[in-house]
Structure 1
Amino acid sequence: MIDRAAVQGWLDAYVRAWETYDPALIGALFTEDAAYYADPFDRGTRGRDAIVARWLAHRDAPGTYRAAYAPVAVDGETAVATGFSRYFGADGTTPRATYGNAFVLRFAPDGRCAEYREWFMEAPAGGG
């Protein structure tokens, strides 16, 4: 069973891993046999090593994004979280896009994510 504080810690670690693209930080988020779905139509990526490789193959430029997420519901091993991802131009300040995010996360007893599902929607132009 996981609690809100543990989910928030995982989400904060997720953002740190995204900011650094450190393979060890990315890998520490997921179980060995985790399933990762970046959108509802994604066929999924299976296994921690494959998830790390996927992240590293699709990097965002450093300093061009910021994100904050928080849990909204926790039930047993499953959590739902929401938040926003904001992208900026190369200067790191010119707004480029804002996405609202929702995550359904299933955790293993050790606090690592065993199943990750994400939904995102881009804010209308001038929004966010």
Structure 2
Amino acid sequence: MYCRLGLNLKRKVKKTLPKREKNPLSVVNKPNIQWAMDFVHDALYCGKRFRTLNIIDEGTRECLAIEVDTSLPANRVIRVLERLKEERGQPQQIRVDNGPELISVNLLNYCEYNGITLCHIQPGKPAAEWIH
């Protein structure tokens, strides 16, 4: 009935992620070996939404950076990583989820250029990012 009247809705096509190696989570006990990077979002009392980029050193469990803004595109993430690189050096690996800012070509190119391995967690397993 809906099809004949032209009322049917288009289904959204789920964006497929590229195939990646499934690496087991490693336990790190030295600084600057592996960092974890993730976003948290919330809203102010007036309804305005904001996001925070959190970067944690997996070896020391130290919070290296918290960047807060209404928009945090991949180029902003790269600027934060550059600042941390100058202050502390760079990690060998960065563990991330599959968010749009963290799968961008700019971030992939930055990590490849600097010799940093991006370790993506399995889709649908957000707890894997923080479990040791």
Per the normalisation by structure 2, the TM-score is 0.25
Q: Which has the higher contact order (CA 8 A, sep 6+)?
A: 1
- Rg larger in 1 or in 2? 2
Q: Normalized per residue, which structure has more strand?
A: 1
